[in-house]
Amino acid sequence: MNPVIPKARWLAVHDGKILAVASDESFHEYRKGRTEFIDCKGKTVLPGFIDPHFHLHAFAESFVTLNLEPHQNIRSISDIQKKIGAISQKIPPGTWIRARGYNEFYLSEKRHPNRSDLDHVVKDHPIKITHRSGRANVLNSLALKLVGISRETSDPTDGLIDRDTATGEPTGLLFNLGDYLSQKIPPVDQGQMEQGIKLVSRELSSLGITSIHDASSRNNLSRWESIQRWKEKGFLKPRITMLLGKEGFEEHQKHLFSSQMEGNWAHIGGVKIVVHETTGQLSPHQEELNEMVLKIHRSGLQAVFHAIEGKTIEAACDAIEYAMDKFPRQDHRHRIEHCSVCSPSLAKRIASLGVIVVTQPSFIFYNGDRYLRTVPDSNLKHLYPIATLMKNGVSVAGSSDCPIVPANPMIGIYSAISRKTNTGQSILPEEGISPKEALGMYTTYAARAAFEEKIKGSIAAGKLADLVVLNSAPTKLPADEIKDVEVEMTFINGEVVWDKTS
């Protein structure tokens, strides 16, 4: 991924950084008594993968909470009931039961569960189950009572309480109330969370991911301090860029978050703003969004917009234009996350504003069959238009949005190239890109999304020795074989954090 030296035979690492890269036999000058040599036996070495849109806490919790994803043989609401009923027998009454990952599209009933479904099997435990998107939750009656939601509760300005049309009673299904629930429901205890973080670290290392951007809108000072603690204890190996939520940004403005760690292990990136139309209206309203973005823009941080379809993407662009007009600033690198439905004219506008898009190619693989059945043709023709964005000059980074889908970068790379679902159906094959461009989404362009292209994203002297060894070269394989490429070794700061053979 280095245009100066596109391919090489060897590289030397010293003190956590790449010392030299070359294609000849000149490595002999580095042969000294304590030098360690690793023969990769013709395999492929790439810069470590970067996942620039990842949910660290949610993924950690997924290891220590009930998994309701379809691949866990969850095919009906009855399957969900059995799982929850079984775990309720193992814990004391009153203990919260948490589960996540259900997907109504793959349930035989083709609907979300509701409070009655949960009450039918468990009454003396409060239950919260989270949709695969993270944007919806289902609570049983006891949980609704504990968090203070009843028939008299008004809908929040940017959320929705689903109600029985006859009685007005909440059905238990809540849209976009995650922040509210996080203030009312006790968090996963520290011991469980630390165990989850260790498992996250191992999973990421096994996938060759050496850096992540934690993109939760709930990130604040408390979470920053937790990340510092996990890094210092060695629980979390990959480097981390933390995007702040609204509360976190306000805290950061009062006093910059400090770090005891030296080097490039953790830093604050941008500020996450969720722009949506859950209630049928734009939230935040455009005027409020403009002022939020202007404040972030003036601070020198990146505005990072969760924006999925045309109206929300347009609103993000309007807010960036407003900020640039009020306070001109070069190379701001504000970001639009997802950018799932984007027309060519909108792609041109994004490019003209110097905005970076961080999208999720692997959604095509994991969710593509659902898209083909449920997304209107007017949107489907502009779905994840990666080639169109790139042709118009947009810098496009690839991410997973894990735990929405698995974190494996090879699936994302394969999807960006092939545009195929996991059943082999194609979605806009003309939007496919080359293997080298797809690799760049998870290396070079992902580094650029955090102003880190001078230290990450390619193999060059002076950059961090974050590397991944693959068993095959993705640029030399048929597209359908790319998704099966495996990680042999992963290095962070020049040290082995994953070795498939050990």
* Span 195-221, average pLDDT: 97
Q: How far is CA 124 from the centre of its chain?
A: 34
The mean pLDDT of 424-428, rounded to a whole number, is: 98
What is each CA distance from 369 to 60, 103, 334, 372, in whole angstroms?
28, 13, 32, 5
The secondary structure element, H or E, covering residue 10 is: strand 10-14
Query: What's the pLDDT score for residue 28?
Result: 81
**Res. 259 pLDDT band, cuts 50 70 90:** confident
Gyration radius of the chain over CA positions:
23
Domain membership flag for residue 42 = no
Amino acid at 174: L
Domain membership flag for residue 28: no
Please list, residue by residue across 145-174, b when 16 or more beta carbons sit within 10 angstroms of its beta carbon and e when fewer do. ebbebeeeeebbebbbbbeeeeeeebbbbb
List strand residue ranges (DSSP E) for 92-199, in order.
97-102, 127-131, 136-139, 160-163, 170-175
Regarding whether 393 and 255 lie in a shared domain, the answer is: yes
Residue at 7 is within a domain? no
Domain CATH number, residue 152: 3.10.310.70
pLDDT of 186 over the 80 cut: yes
User: Residue holding tokens 């950084």?
Assistant: 17
| Percent helix / strand / coil, the chain, rounded to 5 | 35, 20, 40
DSSP string, 336-353: EEE--B--HHHHHHHHHT
Residue percentage of the chain with pLDDT more than 90: 93
296 & 192 share domain: yes
- Gap between the Cα atoms of 86 and 194, Å rounded: 25
pLDDT score for 258: 84
- State whether 119 and 194 are in the same domain: no
Q: Which residue has the tokens 């349930």?
A: 107
Spatial separation of the C-alpha atoms in residues 223 and 229, rounded to whole Å:
10
Pairing assessment for the beta strands 170-175 and 17-22 based on DSSP bridges: unpaired
pLDDT the model gives residue 476:
96
Mean pLDDT of 409-432: 98
Q: Are residues 146 and 268 in the same domain?
A: no
Alpha carbons 270 and 255: distance in angstroms, whole number: 16
Confidence of residue 25 (pLDDT cuts 50, 70, 90): confident
Angle between helices 362-374 and 409-418 (to 10 degrees): 50
Amino acid at 451: F
pLDDT band at 55 (very low <50, low <70, confident <90, very high): very high
Supply the mean pLDDT for the chain: 96
Question: What average pLDDT does the segment 415-425 reach?
Answer: 98
Residue with tokens 């991911």: 209
Boundary-marking domain end, from 153, 184, 215: 184
Is residue 468 assigned to a domain? yes
The last residue of a domain, from among 139, 169, 184: 184
Q: How confident is the model at residue 17 (pLDDT cuts 50, 70, 90)?
A: very high
Considering the domain architecture, whether residues 144 and 204 belong to the same structural domain is answered as no
Average pLDDT, stretch 480-487?
97
358 pLDDT band, cuts 50/70/90, is: very high
Q: What is the rounded CA–CA span in Å between residue 396 and residue 437?
A: 10
Domain check: are 88 and 161 in the same one? yes
- Global confidence as pTM: 0.94
How confident is the model at residue 384, as a pLDDT? 98
Q: Is residue 30 part of a domain?
A: no
Q: Is 286 exposed, middle or buried (0-12, 13-18, 19+ CB in 10 A)?
A: middle
346 alpha carbon, distance to own chain's centre:
23
Whether 153 and 215 share a structural domain: no
Q: Which of 120, 154, 184 is the last residue of a domain?
A: 184
Strand duo 303-307 + 266-274: pairing: parallel
- Do residues 211 and 162 both lie within one domain? no
User: Would the pLDDT of 260 be above 80?
Assistant: no
Using 50, 70 and 90 to split pLDDT, how confident is the model at 31?
Answer: confident
- Quote the CA–CA distance of 127 and 88 in Å, as a whole number: 10
Looking at the structure, tell me whether residues 135 and 222 fall in a common domain: no
Task: Write down the pLDDT at residue 465.
Answer: 98
Do 115 and 241 lie in one domain? The reply is: no
Q: Are residues 165 and 222 in the same domain?
A: no
Confidence category of residue 15, pLDDT binned at 50, 70, 90: very high
Residue 500 domain-assigned (yes or no): no
pLDDT over 80 at 115, yes or no: yes
Would residue 20 count as lying in a domain?
no
Q: How confident is the model at residue 24 (pLDDT cuts 50, 70, 90)?
A: confident
Look-up of token digits 């006093």: 255
Q: What is the pLDDT of residues 377-410, one digit of tens each?
A: 999 999 999 999 999 999 999 999 999 999 999 9
The model's pLDDT over 128-179, given as tens digits with 9 standing for 90+, comes to 999 999 999 999 999 999 999 999 999 988 899 999 999 999 999 999 999 8
pLDDT the model gives residue 471? 97
pLDDT at 327 over 80: yes
Residues 448 and 354 in one domain: yes
Cβ count within 10 A of residue 247:
15
CATH number at residue 376: 3.20.20.140
Q: What is the rounded average pLDDT of the residues 99-120?
A: 96
The predicted pLDDT at position 157 comes to 83
Q: Which domain holds residue 210?
A: 49-57+188-492
3-state secondary structure of 216: coil
No. of helices (H) and no. of strands (E), the chain:
18, 20
**CA 497 – CA 238 distance, rounded (Å):** 9
Handedness of CA 333, 346, 365, 112 (dihedral sign): positive
Q: What is the DSSP letter of 357?
A: E
Tell me how many domains the chain contains: 2
Q: What is the mean pLDDT of residues 16-40?
A: 88
Q: How confident is the model at residue 454 (pLDDT cuts 50, 70, 90)?
A: very high
CA angle 358, 363, 365 (to 5 degrees): 135
With bands split at pLDDT 50, 70 and 90, how would you rate the model's confidence at 34?
confident
| Residue 49 phi, psi dihedral angles, 5° rounding | -70, 145
Asked if the structure places residue 34 within a domain, the reply is no
Angstrom distance (rounded) from CA 469 to CA 415: 21
